[in-house]
Amino acid sequence: MEVESAKLIAAGLAVLPLLGVGIGIGNIFATLIQSIARNPSVQKNLFPMAILGFALTEAVGLIALLVSFLILFR
């Protein structure tokens, strides 16, 4: 039973980076909206960079979730 408890605690700790991912995605899009509100002519340059930042940040979250599942089901 101790091994199962340790696996559950480790899986819970492995999911903690998802909090940072949520904050990071919020910061990316908040900054995008502020930048476009200040200077609308830069939208076509900023939007692809924001989507790239979103994708990379989301990848970190998916990796953390994958690690958590590997801990739980292995």
| pLDDT computed for residue 74 by the predictor | 85
Q: Which residues of the chain have pLDDT under 50?
A: none
Q: What percent of the chain has pLDDT over 70?
A: 100
| pLDDT computed for residue 62 by the predictor | 95
| pLDDT computed for residue 1 by the predictor | 77
Answer yes or no: are the C-beta atoms of 64 and 14 closer than 8 Å. Answer: yes
Distance (Å, whole) CA 21 – CA 6: 25
pTM of the model as a whole: 0.83
Domain 3-73 has CATH 1.20.20.10: yes
Q: Domain spans of the chain? A: 3-73
